[in-house]
Structure formats: C-alpha cells, structure tokens
Structure 1
Amino acid sequence: MGGSLPARTTRVVGFGAAAGFVHPVTGYSVAASLRAATRVANEIVQQLSRGTAGTDLSLAVWGAVWPKHSVRARGWHDMGLAVLSALPPRLIGGFFDAFFELPQAQWSAYLRIDSEPAEVRAAMLGVFRRVDMPTRLALVAQPAALVRALGAR
C-alpha cells in the first residue's frame, strides 16, 4: 500500500492492484478496479482498431488506467498517508474523530482513489479545520509530502 505508481514507460500495463489501484490510506482496490474496467477496455479497443502498437499502445492504455486527475488525486492521497503515518499516537484518535465528523459525501470521496483532486483536498482541509492546534501543527510538519502532492502529474 502506498507504493509508487507503475512507470508509464513499461510495455506491460498493470491493472487493478498491479497498477497501484490500492488506496494508499485504506488499502481498498476492488471497487476502483471495477469502475475503471470499462474505461480501460474501451481505450484498448480504440487503440487496437487504430493499429496502435508497442510503446504507443502501452502509453495510451496507461493513460486510461491512470487519467491525469487520478494521478493528481493519488498525490494528495500519498500526502495523506505520509502525514497520518507521522502523527504521534496521542493525536490519531482526534484526527479520525474529525475525519468522520465531515459530511459523509466528503469523507467517502476521500476514501475513493478515483475522486477528483479537489474532493480529496476539500476533505483534507475539512479535517484540518476540525482538529485541535497540536494536531494542526503535526499535520503541517510534513512539507516534503505537500511538495510531492503539488508536483503529482
């Protein structure tokens, strides 16, 4: 969980857990794979009907497996994992209390790997607003994770 996405340049394009569809925080993967299956299959059919092959085919399919918005959302999820992993144990209960105080639509969007990046950020900001000051300070103590999230492409 929380590992890197597969390289775009590989000739064999993974799908599901093999493609990194495991949510970095929750470990869930099956539902996202099922939601992506039609999109990826359609891209394969379209590319093969055009005669696309080799690296060009792999790149096109990789883009269907990981559309840009999903790569960006994954960057924010990876940041969430880094920040949560670094929280002192005494702050974790309050963090999760704040998370589940969010409206259900907001926290459930965070728990999906295929949410829009703005939905992931909104959930993160909602938690930040609800936690106490010691937890806020701990959350902002991971600037490298923020830089990586901002650079996710």
Structure 2
Amino acid sequence: MTDDLLICGAGPAGRALAHRALTAGLSVTVVDPQPRRRWTATYAAWADELPSWLAADTLAAVVDRPLAWTTRRIEVDRRYAVLDTAGLQDALTLDGARVITDRVTAITRPTRTGTAGLELPAARLSSARVLPAGRVIDARGVPRSPALAEQTAFGVIVERERWTAETLFMDWRDDNGADSAAPRSFLYAIPLDDDRVLLEETCLAGRPALSIRELHDRLIHRLRSRGIELTGEETVERVRFPVQGGIPGTAFGAAGALMHPATGYSVATSLRLADAVVAGDAIWPGSARAVYRLRQAGLRALLALPPADLPVFFDAFFTLPIASQRAYLSGRDELRATATAMTALFAALPWRLRGILARAVTMPSPRPGATTNTAYSTDPA
C-alpha cells in the first residue's frame, strides 16, 4: 500500500501535519522512534499566530498584556497564549493513520528512471524497510551541532499562590547572581493553568549556550532574592535545542526552517502552515526566503551584542509599535514590514550599538565553537 503522505517525526510539527492531512481525507503514515511518547515541554505563542481550527480547550492560559522588564517595565499590548501540552497532543489525533515505531535513516527524493516513469519518494528505516509514498515530509527537527546556536533553559513549576507577580514574557533584571560581564539570561514566568506557574531562567541563543547547571543556579538565586525558596520537590523543565538549522522548502517544522532564529518559536507557525502543506501549496515564496535571511542576520546581531547591552536592545524593540513587533516576530513572508521593523529598531538604538550590529549583520555566521552571549524563551520544535 502506498499512502498519500508519509511523515517522518511525530513531534508537534509532524503530528499537526498528519492530523490535518487525515482531516482532509488523505491516507497517512507516520514514522517515529517513540510515536506515543508524551510531550513535556511548554509551548506558547502569540494568540494571533494560532490557526482558527485549533480547539479553544488546547489553550491553558491567555494573558492579555504580558510584561517585559528591560531597563524598565513595559506592557506588551499583544495577547500571549500558553498551550496545554497534553491537550494539544491529544487534540492532534492520529486516528486513521498508519503509525510505525522505527527510525528514518534516509529519505529518497522522487526521480525519473528512463522509461520506468516517476519513481516515488521513499523513506528508509533502521529496520531496512523502505516505504514509498506520494509525498515524504521530514519533520524530525534539527539535530544538535557545535556549529549551531542553541537555546537553553531551566525552570520549575510552582503553585500559583507562590508567585503573586505578573506574567513575565522576559525579565532582564540583574538579580540572578550572574557577573555583569557574563552571558545574560532572563526570567520567563507564565501561568500553565489556574493552579500552576512556570518560572524559568532562559538563555536565548549561545554558541555555546549557557549550561543547564548555570541556569539552575541563577534561577535559585533570582527566586531567593525575591523571597521564594524552592523545596527541591518542584517539577522541573530543562530546555536545550538549536535555534538555527533546517533548510527552507525541503522539510517541515524546525527541520524546514520554520523556527524563528531570534526566539526559538516554531510550533504556532507549524500549526498555521499545516493546511497549506497538506494542500501542496508553496510556503516558501521569495518574500518568505528574504525574511528568513533577514531573521538570520537578526540572530547574528543578537549574538554580537555585549551582554550588558541586551536589556537596552530589547527596550528598543518593545518600544516599537505593536505592528512592527508583530511583523518581525510573526510575519514570515512580510518582507517590507520586517525590513521596516528592523530599520526602526536599528535607528532606536544608541550609536555605540549600531556599529556592532552593522558589522554582525554583514559578516558570515560565527565559526563553530565561537563564544556568544545572549538569551530568550521556551519552544522546542
């Protein structure tokens, strides 16, 4: 039997694609080493990024105006949604799909072989089995590599009454015990539901990124400075994944370069684009590829900033009009709006930072093993 669609990987991107393909009436095979493993990561998104087909009960919490603490307190006038991880996984049902527990070792693209006609694409499994399909889509994520900047984080889940402060999209205040010249990290504090809050010390992107141990120590210090002592019995979350990698147009999810390199967010984009991929539509027009290159340049700029200046950079960013913030964070094919937002951000920064950013943007990506210094949120692909 040859299915319409074979999806390699059953993480959020692969599962979303399979679910929407089944909804559209396609025959689907999903291959994953652990297809029924329960997800444990925290996924969040700007509410306006989520597709209309996503059930409301997959949202664990929605915050109307999350806070950013940069050099000052800023309310971000954009709704922020925290997904119910278990609810999302259950909602993306694979009922009707053929699910195979195995590892994909190679994907063969379609080729023409003389008079034999079109040879279908196929996936080769570790069991040596070869599965052809009408389309084969790689949604296995991006493997770690010293050449890629990574995002790391360490968090704890506490009862709501132990955290009486507001939702913090990012908090750059320097009460985490780190040396002023050390790579920066920030506090991410969001509700998981009516009863629990995630408090997470987060490093946006580093090559190498801050270690989980260092982030653990910083979080303990920060919370203690704010009067919160941990018992050691709290549920913890550890985050480590590349914020670079993937190739536009050849795969889906992080493997298909749908991760935003300056935030690490990809789940909402994968959910939103799943129907277009199922329909066979092109999701990488020239404008999207150009925005992708601008975002890569933006990541290089972040990596180049001196640690002490990161709050200044984000102060300028969150001072931009919401439309400009949205264009850079969510407008993956809005070239003019993205370029306008980046130009406005550059103009809002002090002169001493403009030269650093200009040099970083025009230089190639840092070599593998180069040390960098920045920080951000939690959205494994």
TM-score of the aligned structures, taking structure 1 as reference length:
0.71
CA distance in 2, matches of 1:105, 1:6: 28
Q: Deviations over 1:70-124 (max 9, x none)?
A: 1110100000000110111122111110000000111121112624122211111
- Residue of structure 2 in register with 1:144 after alignment: 363
Q: Which runs of 4 or more aligned residues in structure 1 lie more than 6 Å from their structure 2 counterparts after TM superposition?
A: none
Matched, 1:88 2:88: no
Structural mapping, 1:4-15, within 5 Å: 4-6=245-247, 13-15=250-252
Corresponding letter in the other structure for 1:144: M
Q: Deviations over 1:113-152 (max 9, x none)?
A: 624122211111111111111111211122225xxxxxxx
Match of 1:121 among 316, 339, 352: 339
Match of 2:263 among 26, 32, 36: 26
Residues 291, 338 of structure 2: 8 Å contact kept: yes
CA distance in 1, matches of 2:295, 2:354: 18
- Residue of structure 2 in register with 1:74 after alignment: 292
Q: Provide the identity percentage.
A: 37
Q: Deviations over 1:41-67 (max 9, x none)?
A: 1117xxxxxxxxxxxxxxxxxxx2422
Matched position secondary structure for 1:136: helix
Q: Structure 1 pair 106/7, CA: closer, same or farther in 2 (3 Å)? A: closer
Q: Structure 1 pair 7/120, CA: closer, same or farther in 2 (3 Å)? A: closer
CA distance in 1, matches of 2:273, 2:330: 12
Structure with more of its chain in helix, by fraction: 1
- Gaps spanning 5+ residues in structure 2: where? 1-241, 365-381
CA distance in 2, matches of 1:144, 1:132: 21
Match of 2:275 among 31, 38, 49: 38
Q: Structure 1 pair 6/39, CA: closer, same or farther in 2 (3 Å)? A: same
Residues 285, 333 of structure 2: 8 Å contact kept: no
Residues 248, 284 of structure 2: 8 Å contact kept: no
Residues 245, 255 of structure 2: 8 Å contact kept: no
Q: Structure 1 pair 118/76, CA: closer, same or farther in 2 (3 Å)? A: same
Residues 320, 344 of structure 2: 8 Å contact kept: yes
CA drift of 1:2 comes to 4.0
CA drift of 1:22 comes to 0.9
Q: Structure 1 pair 105/119, CA: closer, same or farther in 2 (3 Å)? A: same
Across the two proteins, how many residue pairs are aligned to each other? 123
Residues 5, 20 of structure 1: 8 Å contact kept: yes
Matched position secondary structure for 1:26: coil
Matched, 1:3 2:244: yes
Matched, 1:133 2:370: no
Corresponding letter in the other structure for 1:96: F
Larger relative contact order, structure 1 or 2 (CA cutoff 8 Å, min sep 6): 1
Structure with more of its chain in strand, by fraction: 2
CA drift of 1:17 comes to 2.0
CA drift of 1:3 comes to 2.5
Query: Root-mean-square deviation (CA), in Å?
Result: 2.1
- Gaps spanning 5+ residues in structure 1: where? 45-63, 146-153
